[in-house]
Amino acid sequence: MATSEEPSTDASIICYAPSMITTNGVWQGDNPLDFSLPLFVLQLTLVVVVTRFFVFILKPFRQPRVISEILGGIVLGPSVLGRSTKFAHTIFPQRSVMVLETMANVGLLYFLFLVGVEMDIMVVRKTGKRALTIAIGGMVLPFLIGAAFSFSMHRSEDHLGQGTYILFLGVALSVTAFPVLARILAELKLINTEIGRISMSAALVNDMFAWILLALAIALAESDKTSFASLWVMISSAVFIAVCVFVVRPGIAWIIRKTPEGENFSEFYICLILTGVMISGFITDAIGTHSVFGAFVFGLVIPNGPLGLTLIEKLEDFVSGLLLPLFFAISGLKTNIAAIQGPATWLTLFLVIFLACAGKVIGTVIVAFFHGMPVREGITLGLLLNTKGLVEMIVLNVGKDQKVLDDETFATMVLVALVMTGVITPIVTILYKPVKKSVSYKRRTIQQTKPDSELRVLVCVHTPRNVPTIINLLEASHPTKRSPICIYVLHLVELTGRASAMLIVHNTRKSGRPALNRTQAQSDHIINAFENYEQHAAFVAVQPLTAISPYSTMHEDVCSLAEDKRVSFIIIPFHKQQTVDGGMESTNPAYRLVNQNLLENSPCSVGILVDRGLNGATRLNSNTVSLQVAVLFFGGPDDREALAYAWRMAQHPGITLTVLRFIHDEDEADTASTRATNDSDLKIPKMDHRKQRQLDDDYINLFRAENAEYESIVYIEKLVSNGEETVAAVRSMDSSHDLFIVGRGEGMSSPLTAGLTDWSECPELGAIGDLLASSDFAATVSVLVVQQYVGSWAQEDDMDFPESPVHSHETKVTYGLENPR
């Protein structure tokens, strides 16, 4: 009695053989696909593979993952591959549906538990009136449109009342998917904008309403005849929520108190909570609302903090990577596009899509208008709030299981969700281009920054590991009353599909609240370090920020921020870090891509910091920074910028500066001709090498004249004739230095570095930078490789040379007073 399947009426009778779970193997003549475990494993693999394939295909179109998951299900279902009865009966036979659905619902249960854990009700409380009204405005109209359509789509012979039908269609059309929206906003780089914040807050509020309506819809659907049953469902749900808030939450708070800070939670407690998820699901299912409702509420009562973080880290990848696609796949398997028959139904489909979209947009625009927002922003907000995702799919699935929606309506609504979410990214990209303030600011380099003006620096940090060296470097940059330093600290976070990474964006967190996840903990760590530095150092202002985006476009965030804040210098860590034995190993190859893109597109000067520690421990007391700094000067704008920065540092009482200028020992005319050979590579347009040489000489002469009597500043000239001699000279420099500052030398072709670039491992550091950063370089000294911003050189051809840190005699006197050396 294996199975008997009849492709007959609506209610096919399936006989299960309970013993047929695992197979005896193909050698015994068994077909593995007749047994439930191998079949389930195959189905799961297929679902994940197809889903991942779509994720890969749709990545260039910036589509959220939900779309790939639903599409994967539709392709495997009766609409595409399932049209072949052989495929349908072999891979997705009727008897296997029960196992699949059960597993998909377990995945859903835990996923919604995680959504609950990650959702902070305090944020909803603080969203303010604007987000609240926008959320409600964006829900009312689509709900009414859904209600209107329910009359045309509702079959009179259905056993359910019109009210339930209205509720289902209304909820399905009016919800917004918060996790999907967060992902889209990050893709479009709108997450830190005003419109991003409002739409995130509105979506959170919307999600809450959706849950309440969903619970109501299920309660009404499951009690078809008796109105009293619905009432009991409502009352018992309220009791369940009360128990969760007043009994479960204090219990979990007790667990957190019992665990010492920084310790891991015991396995017993974690197990207890994970079992609690299932118990909650069981209770709400028994009451008559859906089991996911219980899991979601249970997740909500878990306080944000280390416990939430532990649960998310243990569950997230497994649940959202493996089990959740199953749920979407099941939705796709139930979607038979062939069920949408006749032009009238297709017309209704397009009408529903258009009107529901328009309804949400119009509702949002009206409310936004009252709040004094421009119409275009209102339309963008409305479009963003059209994002559909999980909640809607749950509504539709429950509706189909409860026979509220027939195949045709179900297929229609799934397509509506797919199209509405899919068109958002392209339309918003076209419609909403944040007004690019064309910022024209002069001081895009350190060399051009006036000695008595503020120096603005943008520091990019990937991990807390780079923080001590960067703080020491900034302290050595000599902030004074006349020339304070304004530091923008940007924590670069990779955008992943995980909802937890998105939560850093909600900067409504008050300090002192525990971090939600590792990324946020890192962010807090970095920010605290810099804020601590700001408190202890004089004339320094720190502003922390976070950028979340894929590594491929991260440089855009950095560049636009630098331009907005009118920064003169960007410091970014090198992609390799020092190992215990002194070698260099790559931490994350993607950092290198960010650095390369930044060097190409930066609106100001850039410094790549090869971090080998600056004098060991962090010193926050400004008087104790003592560094030996060396500048290797070959000529060209990058080297002048490196010298300008070192010159600024040299004003600090604890810094000794050695400037080593390399000069070609043949006559100058010959050098000029050799140097001009490589004009085609030049980044600096039509840069006249004689002119560059002149600028170098003028700047060096000025530097020497200004610093003649300072004992802590040493200037040496070294004659070399080729690359080998240069390398030997660099290697011979004793390792008593703590920091080398070198120009990248982009576009400068010099016989002094001839042949060095042929072997370079990291061309983005230039010939000399690469040599100093390589693992085989004996000295373990930090290196700062500087590239000067040259966008404006073409127009500045007639200028003498930019401002230097100590330009007038008056300045020198002042510095003399500040540094009684």
Distance separating alpha carbons of residues 219 and 288, to the nearest angstrom: 6
Q: What DSSP character marks residue 245?
A: I
Angle between helices 689-706 and 668-675 (to 10 degrees): 120
The yes-or-no verdict on residue 785 having pLDDT over 90 is yes
φ/ψ of residue 198, rounded to 5: -65, -45
> What dihedral do alpha carbons 765, 769, 772, 773 form, nearest 10°?
-20
Q: What DSSP character marks residue 551?
A: G
Q: Which two tokens stand for residue 179?
A: 């996790």
pLDDT recorded at residue 400? 86
Task: Specify burial of residue 152 (Cβ count, 10 A radius: 0-12, 13-18, 19+).
Answer: exposed
**Where residue 12 falls among pLDDT bands split at 50, 70, 90?**
low
**157-198: pLDDT as tens digits:** 556 667 777 888 888 888 888 878 877 887 787 876 778 878
**385-407: pLDDT as tens digits:** 988 888 888 888 888 887 778 88
State mean pLDDT over 406-425.
Answer: 87
SS3 at position 733: coil
Q: What angle do CA 466, 463, 770 make, to 5 degrees?
A: 50
Q: Are 470 and 461 in contact (CB under 8 A)?
A: yes
The chain-wide mean pLDDT, for the chain, equals: 80
Which residues have a Cβ under 8 Å from the Cβ of 442 and sit 6 or more positions away?
448, 792
φ/ψ of residue 314, rounded to 5: -70, -35
Q: Are 302 and 252 in contact (CB under 8 A)?
A: yes
- Which has the closest alpha carbon to 460: 357, 531, 380, 558? 558
Which residues have a Cβ under 8 Å from the Cβ of 172 and sit 6 or more positions away?
146, 392, 395, 396, 399, 413, 416, 417
State mean pLDDT over 769-774.
Answer: 87
Highest mean pLDDT out of 153-167, 468-482, 511-525, 790-804? 468-482
Numbers of helices and strands, H then E, in the chain: 31, 12
Q: Are 578 and 567 in contact (CB under 8 A)?
A: no
The yes-or-no verdict on residue 812 having pLDDT over 70 is no
Distance separating alpha carbons of residues 621 and 643, to the nearest angstrom: 26
State mean pLDDT over 626-654.
Answer: 90
Which residue has better confidence, 123 or 2?
123
46, 94, 636, 684, 694 from 796: Cα distances, Å: 62, 76, 15, 12, 15
Handedness of CA 686, 690, 692, 695 (dihedral sign): negative
- 543: β partners: 488
pLDDT recorded at residue 597? 93
173, 209, 211, 359 from 140: Cα distances, Å: 10, 11, 15, 8
**Where residue 511 falls among pLDDT bands split at 50, 70, 90?**
very low
pLDDT recorded at residue 623? 53
The yes-or-no verdict on residue 669 having pLDDT over 70 is no
Which residues have a Cβ under 8 Å from the Cβ of 374 and sit 6 or more positions away?
none
C-alpha gyration radius of the chain? 32
What domains can you pick out in the chain, each with its CATH number? Answer: 33-224+320-431 (1.20.1530.20), 443-508+519-611 (3.40.50.620), 619-666+689-790 (3.40.50.620)
Instruction: Tell me, rounded to whole angstroms, the distance of Cα 179 from its chain centroid.
Output: 13
Which residue has better confidence, 294 or 316?
294
pLDDT-above-90 percentage for the chain:
22
**What are the residue ranges of helices labelled H in 432-576?**
467-476, 499-502, 518-536, 554-564
Which amino acid type is present at position 165?
A: Y
Which residue has better confidence, 659 or 501?
659
DSSP 291-322: HHHHHHHHHHTSPTTHHHHHHHHHHHHHIIII
pLDDT recorded at residue 438? 56
Q: Which two tokens stand for residue 411?
A: 């297929």
Distance separating alpha carbons of residues 484 and 442, to the nearest angstrom: 18
Q: Residues in the chain, how many?
A: 821
Distance separating alpha carbons of residues 597 and 595, to the nearest angstrom: 5
**What are the residue ranges of helices labelled H in 223-338?**
227-243, 249-258, 267-287, 291-300, 306-318, 324-334
Angle between helices 407-422 and 324-334 (to 10 degrees): 130
Distance separating alpha carbons of residues 182 and 199, to the nearest angstrom: 9
- Which has the closest alpha carbon to 396: 387, 383, 405? 405
- 743: β partners: 786
Q: Which two tokens stand for residue 212?
A: 């309440």
**323-371: pLDDT as tens digits:** 888 888 888 888 888 888 888 888 887 888 888 888 889 999 999 888 8
**739-761: pLDDT as tens digits:** 999 999 877 777 787 777 777 78
**696-710: pLDDT as tens digits:** 999 999 999 988 888
SS3 at position 587: coil
State mean pLDDT over 205-232.
Answer: 76
Q: What is the pTM of this model?
A: 0.68
pLDDT recorded at residue 506? 41
